[in-house]
Amino acid sequence: MSVPPLTVTAPQLRPPHRYIAIEGPIGVGKTTLATLLAERWSMRTLFERPQDNPFLERFYRDTTRHALATQLSFALQRASQTQEAADIVTSGAALMTDFVTQKSELFARLTLPDDEFQLYREVASRVRSSGPAPELVVYLQASPEVLFSRIQKRALPMELQISDSYLRALCDAYNEFFYHYDATPLLTVNAEHLNPLASDDDLALLVERIESMRGRKEFFVKGVSV
């Protein structure tokens, strides 16, 4: 009697959380990392669409003149995406995003004078929709010098117009925002020497840290226990 061959299939990798958001300043690699993690854990993705903002390229050329229009356009996009996220999570699917909704106000506060910021908040409050909060936020942190180098390397024409002063202010704003952030569990990852986008070993380290995280707020620095 012949014995049928044994078929071994790889176990399905289940996501450690049903809703994960990857965040960080421009150039830090959040969208690429979110894509890698979503593929690993078979999660749906919902990403920012900066290319859909008709004012963004003009904003990078002249931040003062085009800031309000840029931020209002993003507020409308974020309201739509919040509803998309709610629909995905309600359907029972696991979700990976490359943003948290609160970032809209972070950018508005950074780029708008007080009177325009108040106008922005008034308009944003009228279009804002409620949605589920991530079960985990991963904040990728890097210095302006590292971000500038990565932006230059990927050489997207619109991003090459970003000024050094704006990039430095953005890093400061992100660090301040996540220093006080307590809306959800938060894993802050120092991305200076950790490059999960180019190194499978680094990706494995980060995956292990995400899957083993139990605290409300933790820090991950490669080679250091924090």
Annotated binding site: 24-32, 150-154
The residue among 147, 223, 134 whose CA lies nearest residue 184 is 134
96 forms bridges with which residues in the sheet? Answer: 20, 45
User: Rounded distance, CA 55 to CA 107, Å?
Assistant: 14
Please, what's the b/e burial string for 80-105 (b: 16 or more CB within 10 A of its CB; e: otherwise)?
ebbeebeebbeeeebbbbbbbbebbb
User: What does the chain come to in residues?
Assistant: 226
List the beta strands (DSSP E) in the chain. Answer: 19-23, 44-46, 95-97, 136-141, 186-190, 217-220
Binding site for ATP, by residue number, is: 24-32, 150-154
CA 189 to chain CA centroid, Å, is: 12
Identify whether 62 is a catalytic site residue.
Answer: no
Q: Which of 52, 98, 164, 201 is catalytic?
A: 98
Exposed / middle / buried, residue 155 (Cβ in 10 Å: 0-12, 13-18, 19+): exposed
Active centre residues (catalytic): 98
